[in-house]
Structure 1
Amino acid sequence: MKKSIYAAMLSGIICPGSGQLWLGKKLQGWGFISISVVCIMVLMDQMISRAQVIAEQILAGNIGNDLASIYAAVSEVALDTGSSSMSALTWVFLANWGLSIISAFWFGAQQDKQLQLQTDTKTAE
Structure 2
Amino acid sequence: MKASIKAALISALVFPGLGHLVLRRGARGLLFIVPALLAAGYLLRTTLVLADTIVTEINSGKLPLDPLLIVERVHSAGVDNPATNLAALVCIVCWVGSVLDALWLGRHR
Fold match (TM-score > 0.5):
yes
Compared with structure 1, are the counterparts of its residues 82 and 25 closer, same or farther at alpha carbon in structure 2 (3 Å cutoff)? closer
- For 1:81 and 1:14, the matched residues in 2 are separated by 26
Q: 2:27, 2:69 → 1: CA distance?
A: 43
1:32 maps to what in 2?
Answer: 32
Give the alignment's Cα RMSD to 1 decimal. Answer: 1.9
**1:44 correspondence with 2:44:** yes
- Given that residues 21 and 30 in structure 1 are in contact (C-alpha distance below 8 angstroms), is that contact kept between their aligned partners in structure 2? no
TM-score when scaled to structure 2? 0.84
Matched position secondary structure for 2:62:
coil
Instruction: Using the TM superposition, give the Cα deviation of residue 75 of structure 1 relative to its aligned residue in structure 2, in angstroms.
Output: 2.0
- Which sits farther off after the overlay, 52-61 or 75-84? 75-84
Question: Could you tell me how far apart the structure 2 residues matched to 1:12 and 1:38 are?
Answer: 18
Q: How does 1:48-87 map to 2 (within 5 A)?
A: 48-64=48-64, 66=65, 69=66, 71-76=67-72, 77=74, 82-87=80-85
Q: Which letter does structure 2 place at the counterpart of 1:57? A: E
CA shift, 1:46, in A, is 0.3
Q: Aligned pair in 2 of structure 1 residues 75, 98: CA closer, same or farther (>3 Å)?
A: same
In 2, the alpha carbon distance for the partners of 1:74 and 1:3 equals 47
Identical residues among aligned pairs (%): 26
Is 1:110–2:102 an aligned residue pair? no
State the shift of 1:91 in Å.
Answer: 1.1
Count residues in correspondence: 107
Q: Which structure has the greater CA radius of gyration?
A: 1
* TM-score (ref. length: structure 1): 0.75
Off by >6 Å, runs of 4+ in structure 1: none
Gaps in structure 1 of 5+ consecutive residues: 112-125
Whether the 8 Å contact between 1:3 and 1:109 is mirrored in structure 2 is: no
Alpha-carbon distance in 2 for matches of 1:38, 1:85? 12
Mark the runs of 5 or more structure 2 residues left unpaired by the alignment: none
